[in-house]
Structure 1
Amino acid sequence: MERKKIVHALDTPYSAVEWPHISQDDQDTILELLCQLLAPIGAHRESFITPSKGKRKRVRKANNPAGSGTEKPVEPIPPSPPISAHVDVGLSVISRGLQAMSREEDNSPSGPSPSSTKNTTKIESKTPQPPPPIAEPGSRTRPPPYSIVFVARSGQSSAFHCHFPQMVALASQTQQPTNSNPDPAIRLVGFSRACEDRLSAALGVPRVSSVALRAGAESSGPEGVSQARGLVEFVRERVAPVDVAWLREEGGVGKRKGGFLETRIEAVPTKVGVKKVKAK
């Protein structure tokens, strides 16, 4: 008769968040549209921005100031394409942008809540402070929210991008629908095939793993209107928003109940092996 014992294992009460399912044909179409949209940024970088040659050249120039006078005068660099103002590149930049969007006090029109500034009022009151500047009507202090986040999942560890579904879902909860944008949920596109080379070639940078497109890219100049609008409409039609079950049960970011979620303790029956007798 087999001997069994109960082994207890701790598990998180929060369910795992899955990436939105996108067919391979749709992924290829989205990648093609994205590279066409980013191509002007890479062309501008390759034409007018000199690649960095490292720290050694700066050290030689500092040690030999006499030879620096023979260099040609630097010509003014033309402005970047309008689409570059609506594009963020890099894991750190996009993660900070999603974190800023997820903060409830940062997205409120009146600024931080009184409770968040109660502890700093006593310290700031010791020194006179100038009055805050008066915001002009219609001025925008925060950048536009993200519309789509693209992540190259293939070829790198999941530790670099496993946080994106949760952060995208939290940031989407803070966005309010408007007449021009009735569906403000951020779309998350994960490319299952290796596409870092195509993205880096389109942007003119050595390595790219994630790209974010901000809202309003459809109005980024006449050359990018049709491309950005086609990409955004295609993604919103084919890609579903990120669904987080435990976040939906809690009521979202602005309606958190603050209830206690018990730790899941799994009781797993396992077979007890035969004890080995050491040979004398």
Structure 2
Amino acid sequence: MQKDQLLTRRRALIAGAAVLGAVGAAGTARVLTADPAGSPVRAPVAGGPQARQALKPSAYRLEPMTGFAPPRRTPGKPAVRREPIMRVSGRGRTMVLTFDDGPDPRYTPSILRTLRKHDVRAMFFVCGEMAVDNKDLLAEMADDGHVVGNHTWTHPLLTELRRSEIRSEIARTSDVIEDAYGERPVWFRAPYGAWNRATFQIGADLGMEPMAWTVDSLDWTTPGTATIVDRVEEGAAPGVVVLSHDAGGDRSQTVRALRDYLPELLDSGYHLTVPHRQDS
């Protein structure tokens, strides 16, 4: 399958996955945080009253984050969760930017340059079939201190696969990440946000925590750069995880949007960072 055909396939699957994604990533009873206490909190609805508060100017800028380089040891296996992590905690107005489906040599390098310009770390949930041909980009992510997570090999709807197939999709991708990035991933994101008990169990057995998102930029629909910027800025709030894509189709709007909203978020006092996984 050609890389540019991913968007067509995913558009066909997205309708069926939407219900599963809502149940697995947003419709569960509670939302977990990545802080040591692990206290469940309710995630703000993207675009809701809290999220639409106007951005306020601030002199606060992101401080250098040399402490967020990839870990140099292998954490223990996490507990099996029943719902994915959707929010993170941290000092001040902390947010996390995440990019799915890459790396793609047409768009990922531009995203990396923008993040580097502003000294910001992000999370990249990569697909094995993309990563295997672009290992240099994973190495670049490691050098810049970004976190690389597992997004399966071919981006399938995992809830329709047998357990052996789910494990193969995830394990093969972890192998490629370890080879190119230097560490096995400790975060996992199910394609389409479609989770079930098997995905949680297998992900945990392979040493990964499940990460979903709070704010969906819907950039894969190519709604226009300004619309993507508005969605991210209106959804900005402490603890949110923003979903965007650096592959799977034409991501030029995503690239341009990041250049616009990232400095605005920083000027408004947001601390763009990456989470630490807590050992079990």
TM-score (norm 1): 0.27
Higher relative contact order (CA 8 A, sep 6+): 1
Higher radius of gyration, 1 or 2: 1
TM-score (norm 2): 0.27
